[in-house]
Structure 1
Amino acid sequence: MVFWEGYVSDETMGTFAPIVVYWVYAGVYQLLPPLDRYRLHTRKEEEQKNLVSLSSVIKGVLLQQLAQATIAQLLFLVTSDSSPTGTIAQLPVLIQLLQIIVAMFVMDTWQYFVHRYMHQNKFLYRHIHSQHHRLVVPYAIGALYNHPLEGLLLDTFGGVISFLVSGMTARTAVFFFCFAVMKTVDDHCGLWLPGNIFHLFFQNNTAYHDIHHQLQGSKYNYSQPFFSIWDRILGTHMPYSLVTRKEGGLEARPLKE
């Protein structure tokens, strides 16, 4: 039993809970004090290097989430017709955890190859993926700032495929997609906070993805949002070291393999 049972359907929660989680979690990061000693880039760098305003980023994210919500509703409508009522509550926790792990690997695989191709294809990079890289210095609210077509291909279709391949129910999807959203936001937050649980369990983290957003790492660290497996297997892994800057804060410095 979950807290929303009897109030809204699992399909409704699966559609809108990830959106709410995105803005709450990213908003917390946005409202934090400067925390300069934990920043991977100075505030001056963020102001000078980023090529898009915060208001444009917010509009872009809302547009992507509108598309995601529309497709999620269609997906749940189609799949719920083939699922017997009551199956959701009967799934053992271990099976749901296995489905989530499968979904994580499926999503990582889809996003790695689509993301990498968008860098390798000059047309796609120039006209589509470069929009995300206007945030040279990433921040939490910009995690889903993409060209609408990229948002559809990379994130939305990646989520659909993960959901279908794993065989999860709408209820399990609520937890999986909320978790995926939090991980994605965290990867773009630009802060290396002590005790961050994502940094403890995932090598693909804030600093790892920050390397990719920098010029010297743009052809490396394509993996997102969970593991770095495909980067390591296919030779696109860029290790890094965290060093303290003289002016304060931290820097993820690429290391040659």
Structure 2
Amino acid sequence: MNFIDRFTEPLRFAIENGYNYLIGKYFLSNESSLDLYASILFVLIYWMIGSLFILMEIYEKPKFLMHFKIQKGKSQIQKIALQRTIKQVLINQLLTLAIAYWVHCGQRMPHSNRVPSLTRFLLEWTVFFLSREIAFYYSHRILHHRLIYKHIHKKHHEWQTPIAIAAIYCNPIEHLISNIIPVVIGPYLMHSHRLTYYLWVLYATLLTLSDHCGYHFPFTLPPIFHDFHHLKFNVNYGILGLLDWIHGTDKQFRESKYFAKNRIYFSLNSPSALLSE
């Protein structure tokens, strides 16, 4: 055990004991029940955050937040489109819950019983990021192939100006191969503890909502990279941008005015105002 892990071992041990107590007291040591409740919680978080952005778009309030909108003056919230989006998202979430039930109740996804040390946790998350980037980038590029796009991926691009709730508005086939698999492949390969897995899924849920929200708020990761993909279609296929840089599929983005805004801002001014100063 290295110095970092020795130093943080009391915290790791406390988290592990707390987790085991929670499972024993509230779930009768049945972790499959916890998986179900966690999955439902992620669905609720998705709708709570997504609904807030819908209200912002419809009523354009609070006004001071409108300055952070990426595609200025563009809003396409229409009742029919919104109803269609809500219906498809619910279908995809039911698919997610069904797969989660099949995987976890059938114990088809291996999990460690030991809460990881800090260095192990960081290693696992590094694998998560890289495996998700590889799986998402290449599946996403395949979905943009002219023989596939109009049959599957075109649905997701109905929102040229994206909104948060449309993050998983897509064909169920796409949802499986481009949303679910890239997220779970890392924890599956690493046999991660459930807490590590839950934190990762929570992060992935919040990130995809942010990437599709259409706003670039201060102190948050910039969603401009993926927003530009919705604007121009055939660029920025990845999440981190690493494979786009390697394959040159971010060239148009790098040459655009949006590239300069693709960073975290530590000011309450809008990115556009900061760039004009």
TM-score by structure 2 length? 0.73
| CA distance, structure 2, for counterparts of residue 220 and residue 129 of structure 1 | 14
Q: Which runs of 5+ in 1 are unaligned?
A: 200-205, 252-257
- Specify which of 211, 216, 230 is matched with residue 187 of structure 1: 211
In the TM superposition, 1:2-17 aligns within 5 A as 2=19, 5=23, 6-8=25-27, 9=31, 10-17=34-41
TM-score by structure 1 length? 0.79
Determine the structure 2 residue equivalent to 1:235: 248
* Identity fraction in percent: 24
| CA distance, structure 2, for counterparts of residue 51 and residue 146 of structure 1 | 18
Whether 1:139 and 2:163 are equivalent positions in the alignment is yes
The alpha-carbon deviation at position 94 of structure 1 amounts to: 3.2
The alpha-carbon deviation at position 164 of structure 1 amounts to: 1.0
Determine the structure 2 residue equivalent to 1:148: 172
**More displaced 10-residue stretch of structure 1: 20-29 or 148-157:** 20-29
Q: Which has the higher helix share?
A: 2
Where 1:193 maps in the other structure, the secondary structure is: coil
Given the superposition, is the C-alpha separation of residues 61 and 82 from structure 1 closer, same or farther in structure 2, using an over 3 Å criterion?
closer
Determine the structure 1 residue equivalent to 2:128: 103
| CA distance, structure 2, for counterparts of residue 71 and residue 61 of structure 1 | 15
The alpha-carbon deviation at position 168 of structure 1 amounts to: 1.1
Whether 1:114 and 2:144 are equivalent positions in the alignment is no
Determine the structure 1 residue equivalent to 2:76: 47
The alpha-carbon deviation at position 82 of structure 1 amounts to: 5.7
Query: What letter corresponds to residue 234 of structure 2 in structure 1?
Result: K
Whether 1:36 and 2:55 are equivalent positions in the alignment is no
Given the superposition, is the C-alpha separation of residues 71 and 81 from structure 1 closer, same or farther in structure 2, using an over 3 Å criterion?
closer
- Specify which of 238, 250, 267 is matched with residue 223 of structure 1: 238
Q: For residues 127-177 of structure 1, give each alpha carbon's deviation from its aligned partner in whole angstroms, at most 9, with x where no partner exists.
A: 100000000100111111111111111112223322212321222211100
Given the superposition, is the C-alpha separation of residues 138 and 81 from structure 1 closer, same or farther in structure 2, using an over 3 Å criterion?
closer
CA radius of gyration, larger in: 2
Given the superposition, is the C-alpha separation of residues 122 and 68 from structure 1 closer, same or farther in structure 2, using an over 3 Å criterion?
same
User: Are the aligned partners of 1:14 and 1:173 in contact in 2 as well (CA < 8 Å)?
Assistant: no
In the TM superposition, 1:51-66 aligns within 5 A as 53-66=81-94
Where 1:47 maps in the other structure, the secondary structure is: coil
**Equivalent residues, number:** 230
Given the superposition, is the C-alpha separation of residues 14 and 172 from structure 1 closer, same or farther in structure 2, using an over 3 Å criterion?
farther
Q: Which runs of 5+ in 2 are unaligned?
A: 1-17, 262-269, 273-277
The alpha-carbon deviation at position 17 of structure 1 amounts to: 2.8
The alpha-carbon deviation at position 20 of structure 1 amounts to: 2.1
